[in-house]
Structure 1
Amino acid sequence: MTTTSSSILPSELEDLVALFDVRGTDTPTPDAEREAALASPRFGTVFTDHMARISWRQEDGWLDRRIEKYGPLQLDPATAVLHYAQEIFEGMKAYRHDDGSVWTFRPDANAARFARSAHRLALPALSVEDFVGSIAALVRTDAAWVPSGEDSSLYLRPFMFASEAFLGVRPAAEVEYLVIASPVGPYFAGGVKPVSIWVDEEYHRAGPGGTGDAKYGGNYAASLLPQQLAADNGCDQVCFLDAATNTHLEELGGMNVFVVMDDGSVHTPELTGSFLEGVTRSSILRLATDRGHEAVERRIPLTEVVEGLADGTVREIFACGTAAVVTPVGRLLGSTFDRQVGDGEPGALTMEIREQLTGIQYGRVADPHGWMRRLA
């Protein structure tokens, strides 16, 4: 696997954006319609006027970098992704700061994970330069779509799929990479609310040696039935246990999980290869350490958490991911237990970390680690 890992300088970003041929839409969204969408954005239902795209051919490599009109893809019924699920994706956001500039958060980390996912799914590696350049080119083209409301942002979805038309179990010789964007509002309308979590002891999202640490659609498809069962039990989300022993916490359907102990230490399941290494997760580990808390990555037994909620040694639980950033957990349920987390309200450290992280993303507080990258 060949990838480029670097911190791209602002002057270099200009050169990367220039590689993309902008083929503007002939049917731009009217200003009034766009403003109405931005006034009440809904996750993943309204999309900007354009999308970024790069094609790959086995004999030629990556070619035809362009920004083109957002629209349907024409696929042959034999397109490989429809039969063998050879695809990956990422999730990130663009944030409008008070001065009108537009920034994104740790794009190099998303680019590196995208390359790791590609390697696991036998897809061609996309360089950090092409990844970041495609995002910047799209955001600059559709900059008017970046909302400026409180905790609103432009959600970015880079993805890659096997586009070759063939029936046969082998890596595709033709691949398409695209980036689409959707304006989104605050994850928690009306304020941050604790969620209830169902711990599934029957199904697993992924197992050892599988695709769990790749951001791959099949992992999410595997989580849908357990998520449905969680809803049947009155819960907002599902938490999976490890497939090998069925005893240790791993992750939620689409988020990593953290446990705060009564001594102030912050614990999260160690990376085993069977669940995703979240960019938000690694950022929280750094911020917790900066704040003087011991940050621990280890295997966390479910029994320890259940008992800790009963005797007070577990003080807070929260989940994290790109969409919700930090989500407090107020209740943990399973087939044999039902525990309230603390007093059922968002924990103090949970909210402090959330405020600091979102503050960095929106330019409201200092960015000590240089995580933000200006796009426009």
Structure 2
Amino acid sequence: MSLEKNVDFSIQKAEKSKIGSIDFENVKFGSVFTDHMLVCHYKDGAWGQVEIKPYGPMSFEPSMNVFHYGQAIFEGMKAYKDENDKVWLFRPRENWKRFNKSAERLAMPHIDETRFVDGLKALLQLDQDWVRKGEGNSLYIRPFMIGTHEGVVAGPSTEFMFCIILSPARTYYSGKVKVQIAEHYSRAANGGVGSTKCSGNYAGQFYPTKLAQEAGYQQVIWTDDTTHTKLEEAGTMNVFFRIGDTLITAPTSERILDGVTRKSLIAIAESKGIKVEVKSIVVQELLDAHAKGELKEIFGAGTAVTVGQIEGFAYQDKYYALPEVADADAYAIQLKTALQGIQQKRIEDTFDWTETI
């Protein structure tokens, strides 16, 4: 791995690692962070030095743009360690491209591939002992960018900070979840920022998700903002429906995130001969398929969970349980097993998706 010559790059190692104090078998997702982080600042129209330094608190002005006008984007990625102690990334350049799409939509500067991908690899080389091998283990990667210009005049920031932090992770969800189909609240709207990974998208989900949880459901299946009939995403994930032997997922749009896990599962399914249809699906189609016994599975897809199975859904105060499908026959299990096998290098990566640090 080498960095472009025109990128100033510095590494400051932590005096002492805290890795010995971490219980990796019981770590809570997103609560523990590694010894180092990457930081880079944008000022006067250009990105500056890439710094890898000890993870720790930062000091900010109360008037900073991100606190008032919400210019903040992020990505979610993972690193894996194989049985030979080699660390691998899964499709990192797809995350870099999507990060820049989010940046453009929020009037933020693009980050170059060297700072994003090569910088990440340098950070992982320093903290590679935090990547644990074995089933269910990974290192969650959170790149993010925030507006740092000081002042409360309503307008885009002229200064920004790009960071990457790392967090050891175990399996995100255990077991299946129950969901509620949204009838009033929307995750995104046409012309909005639903296809970006900006912080406000997630903040706006918290309240309706809280209401669903109070009603006994773990997540919400979001519907379109106009008719509330088109099924679009599940929680913070893309969503798939199996009707008969066909797998259906909504097309990406201004409202739906172009998920890296989503597009990977589609490719794997097609390679296995599973029929995949990328099309809009409405609530009534789901209810009709359930009534006919043709609705076999619903599952979410995202970096944190990989594949999250859904056991049933609620709509207009009625609950619809899904049938029990044996693991050997479940598309969710087949696709999850194949994807994680590629990510963790247990099976051959015929798609050329993985790259080492």
Give TM-score scaled by structure 1 length. 0.91
Cα deviation for residue 236 of structure 1 reads 1.3
Q: 1:187, CA displacement in angstroms?
A: 2.2
2:188 corresponds to? 206
Aligned-residue offset at 1:144: 1.2
Q: Is 1:14 matched up with 2:2? A: yes
1:37 counterpart (23, 31, 41): 23
1:220-369 matches, within 5 Å, as 220-262=202-244, 264-343=245-324, 348-369=330-351
Matches of 2:160 and 2:326, distance apart in 1: 47
Amino acid at match of 1:226: P
Q: How big is the shift at 1:195? A: 1.2
How big is the shift at 1:27?
4.1
Residues 323-373 of structure 1: CA deviation (Å, up to 9, x unaligned): 110111111112243111122776611100110000000001111110001
Instruction: Give me the whole-angstrom Cα distance separating, in 2, the residues matched to 1:128 and 1:333.
Output: 43
1:75 pairs, out of 46, 55, 60, with: 60
Structure 2 contact 296–325 (Cα < 8 Å) conserved: no
Alignment partner of 2:118 out of 133, 148, 168: 133
Inter-partner Cα distance in structure 2 for 1:76 and 1:27: 29
Q: Give the SS at the match of 1:353.
A: helix
Distance in 1 (CA, whole Å) between partners of 2:275 and 2:112 is 35
Asked if the contact 2:3–2:114 (Cα under 8 Å) also holds between the matched residues in 1, the reply is no
Instruction: Provide, for residues 202-235 of structure 1, a one-character-per-residue CA deviation record: whole Å limited to 9, x for no partner.
Output: 1001100001000011000010011111111211
Q: Out of 40, 52, 57, which is 2:43 matched to? A: 57
Among 144, 148, 169, the residue aligned to 2:154? 169
User: Cα 1:226–1:116, aligned 2, differ >3 Å: closer, same or farther?
Assistant: same
Q: Deviations over 1:168-193 (max 9, x none)?
A: 1221111000000000112245xxx2
Letter aligned with residue 147 of structure 2: A
Q: Give distance in 2, aligned partners of 1:102 and 1:16.
A: 22
CA contact (8 A) 2:182 2:228 kept: no
What secondary structure, in the 3-state scheme, does the structure 2 residue paired with 1:14 have?
coil
Q: Give the 3-state SS of the residue equivalent to 2:38 in structure 1.
A: strand
Q: Secondary structure at the match of 2:2?
A: helix
Query: Do the aligned partners of 2:222 and 2:231 also contact (CA within 8 Å) in 1?
Result: yes
TM-aligned CA deviation for residue 19 of structure 1: 5.3
Matched, 1:216 2:202: no
Give the Cα–Cα distance (whole angstroms) in 1 for the partners of residues 71 and 30 of structure 2: 22
Contact 2:72 2:199 in 1 (8 A): yes
RMSD: 1.6
Q: How does 1:85-164 map to 2 (within 5 A)?
A: 85-164=70-149
User: What whole-Å deviation, never above 9, does each CA across 1:291-326 have from its counterpart, x for those lacking one?
Assistant: 112211111101111221221222211111001101
Pair 1:187-2:165 in alignment: no
Output the CA distance in 1 between the equivalents of 2:303 and 2:4.
Answer: 25
- Is the CA contact 2:65–2:149 (under 8 Å) kept in the aligned structure 1? yes
> 1:101 and 1:348 mapped to 2: Cα distance?
31
Partner SS state of residue 165, structure 1: coil
Q: Secondary structure at the match of 1:15?
A: coil
**Are the aligned partners of 1:160 and 1:175 in contact in 2 as well (CA < 8 Å)?**
yes
Whether contact under 8 Å (1:37, 1:46) holds in the other structure is no
Percent identity (aligned): 34
Paired residue secondary structure (1:250): strand
Single out whichever of 77-86 and 315-324 deviates more from structure 2: 315-324
CA contact under 8 A between 1:50 and 1:69: conserved in structure 2? Answer: yes
Match of 2:17 among 15, 28, 34: 28
Q: In the TM superposition, what is the alpha-carbon distance from 1:90 to its structure 2 partner?
A: 0.2
Alignment partners' CA distance in 2, 1:135 and 1:37: 24
For residues 237 and 345 of structure 1, the distance between their equivalents in structure 2, rounded to whole angstroms, comes to: 23
Task: Please give the secondary structure, in 1, of the residue aligned with 2:49.
Answer: strand
What TM-score comes out, normalization by structure 2 length? Answer: 0.96
Q: Which moved more, 1:140-149 or 1:341-350?
A: 341-350
Counterpart-to-counterpart distance in 1, 2:278 and 2:308: 19
Match of 1:9 in 2: none
